[in-house]
């Protein structure tokens, strides 16, 4: 295990940035944290609860796929894929680190694989920082995530009032820590930090959220539940929950005609939108109830059906904090779970 004094953390960031591009949570003008490239003068946010997760660095909100250049009847196809430089993501929360595993099952390991996602994923080194002060909206423990262990990345990290502690857990993690301005620390140096973090988690109101009524094989039982109609009545279909979610994967592919050149790109989409997957024959889910049900059934039933029982939610709490009408996955779980 390695350590560095918190007062010297900028020296560490500088050393990392000299090796690879470094992303870390930084507060914007509104005081909201987002992952941006580090440069001298930037300070890491004290709030690890970024508005959006680090998913953006693997699966950007908008990215070019291919360009077409027109010259009369001549068509030139231009590859838009760029060679990705190695980069480090510092300060990923344990719940967000778990979300990468969920995305990997879709983009990395399922055929056809997503070469754009893989190119970024392979070039990344992820430093997971344990969550010492989870918010009341957090419920990662319900999905088996231990926020104090800082698992799921290449380097596990912890912080206390004086130091940051680091432990490499993969070969990429070992390569990152090698040559950095770090001191040796005892293997159990972070044990007290873990105990304190777990004590905080024990007091959170949603830590015992019951998921026993959901999971693989529950489609027939839950699909026609009358509670979906009542739950969906207040939903605005704004899609906010899908855009802040670290595990949502829906996207659309569009063409932009600039005259002599056409840009084909993909952008995030939302199953909550009325025109999602709309074709000439119409929308396969024409009502808000059907779209609402699709989102939560995918998180809690369909994804577990396809991926060995794994839920497609990590309990980060972003949808609880951002939904304008306070309709979220916790209310769905409690409402439907309590009536079963």
Flag whether 210 is in a domain. no
Residue ranges of the alpha helices (H) in 171-287?
171-177, 191-201, 219-222, 227-232, 240-244
Q: Are residues 231 and 134 in the same domain?
A: no
pLDDT at 55 (0 to 100) = 95
Flag whether 283 is in a domain. yes
Q: What are phi and psi of 236, to 5 degrees?
A: -85, -10
Flag whether 263 is in a domain. yes
Residues of the chain with pLDDT > 90, as a percent, come to 82
Which one is predicted more confidently, 275 or 303?
Answer: 303
Residue 250 belongs to what domain range? 219-339
Q: Are residues 189 and 275 in the same domain?
A: no
pLDDT at 340 (0 to 100) = 55
pLDDT at 259 (0 to 100) = 80
Residues of the chain with pLDDT > 70, as a percent, come to 99
Q: Are residues 103 and 190 in the same domain?
A: yes
Q: What is the pLDDT of residues 115-152, one digit of tens each?
A: 999 999 999 999 999 998 888 999 999 999 999 999 99
> Which residue, of 175, 201, 227, is where some domain finishes?
201
Tokens, residue 166: 């680091």
Flag whether 278 is in a domain. yes
Per-residue confidence at 241, pLDDT binned at 50, 70, 90?
A: very high
Sole residue written with tokens 């680091």: 166
Q: Are residues 257 and 305 in the same domain?
A: yes
The answer to whether 176 and 88 are in contact (CB under 8 A) is yes
Average pLDDT, rounded, for the chain: 93
Q: Are residues 48 and 159 in the same domain?
A: yes
Flag whether 214 is in a domain. no
pLDDT at 278 (0 to 100) = 77
pLDDT at 339 (0 to 100) = 64
Q: What is the pLDDT of residues 277-332, one digit of tens each?
A: 877 676 788 899 999 999 999 999 999 999 999 999 999 999 999 999 999 999 99
Q: Are residues 29 and 172 in the same domain?
A: yes
Q: What is the pLDDT of residues 70-105, one digit of tens each?
A: 888 888 998 888 788 999 999 999 999 999 999 999
Q: Are residues 243 and 145 in the same domain?
A: no
Flag whether 136 is in a domain. yes
Which of the given ranges, 152-156, 274-278, 336-340, has the highest pLDDT on average? Answer: 152-156
Q: Are residues 46 and 75 in the same domain?
A: yes
Q: Are residues 276 and 193 in the same domain?
A: no
Flag whether 212 is in a domain. no
pLDDT at 280 (0 to 100) = 67
Flag whether 207 is in a domain. no
| Beta-strand pair 124-129/155-159 | parallel
Q: Are residues 53 and 171 in the same domain?
A: yes
> Which residue, of 151, 166, 201, is where some domain finishes?
201
Q: Are residues 34 and 157 in the same domain?
A: yes
Domain count, the chain: 2
Interatomic CA distance for residues 236 and 118, integer angstroms? 34
- How many residues in the chain? 340
Q: Are residues 62 and 145 in the same domain?
A: yes
Residue 170 CB coordination number (10 Å) = 13
Sole residue written with tokens 């592919």: 253
């Amino acid at each position: 295990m390695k350590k560095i004094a918190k007062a010297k953390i900028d020296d560490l960031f500088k050393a990392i940035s000299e090796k690879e591009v470094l992303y870390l949570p930084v507060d914007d003008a509104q005081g909201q944290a987002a992952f941006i490239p580090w440069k001298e003068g930037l300070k890491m946010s004290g709030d690890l609860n970024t508005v959006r997760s680090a998913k953006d660095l693997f699966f950007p909100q908008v990215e070019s796929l291919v360009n077409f250049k027109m010259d009369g009847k001549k068509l030139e196809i231009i590859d838009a894929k760029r060679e990705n430089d190695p980069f480090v993501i510092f300060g990923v929360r344990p719940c967000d680190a778990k979300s990468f595993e969920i995305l990997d099952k879709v983009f990395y390991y399922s055929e056809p694989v997503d070469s754009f996602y893989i190119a970024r994923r392979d070039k990344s080194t992820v430093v997971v920082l344990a969550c010492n002060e989870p918010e009341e909206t957090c419920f990662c423990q319900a999905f088996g995530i231990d926020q104090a262990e800082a698992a799921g990345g290449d380097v596990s990290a912890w912080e206390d009032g004086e130091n940051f502690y680091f432990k490499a857990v993969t070969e990429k993690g070992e390569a990152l820590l090698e040559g950095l301005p770090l001191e040796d620390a005892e293997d159990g140096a972070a044990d007290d930090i873990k105990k304190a973090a777990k004590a905080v988690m024990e007091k959170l109101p949603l830590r015992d959220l019951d998921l026993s009524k959901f999971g693989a094989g529950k489609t027939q039982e839950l699909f026609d539940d009358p509670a979906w109609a009542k739950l969906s009545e207040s939903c605005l279909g704004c899609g906010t929950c899908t855009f802040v979610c670290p595990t949502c994967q829906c996207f659309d592919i569009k063409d932009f005609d600039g005259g002599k050149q056409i840009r084909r790109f993909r952008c995030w989409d939302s199953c909550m939108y009325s025109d999602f997957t709309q074709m000439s024959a119409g929308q396969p889910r024409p009502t808000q109830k059907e779209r609402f049900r699709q989102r939560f059934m995918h998180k809690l039933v369909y994804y577990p059906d396809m991926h060995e029982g794994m839920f497609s939610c990590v309990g980060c709490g972003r949808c609880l904090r951002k939904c304008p009408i306070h309709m979220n996955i916790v209310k769905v779980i409690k409402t439907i779970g309590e009536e079963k």
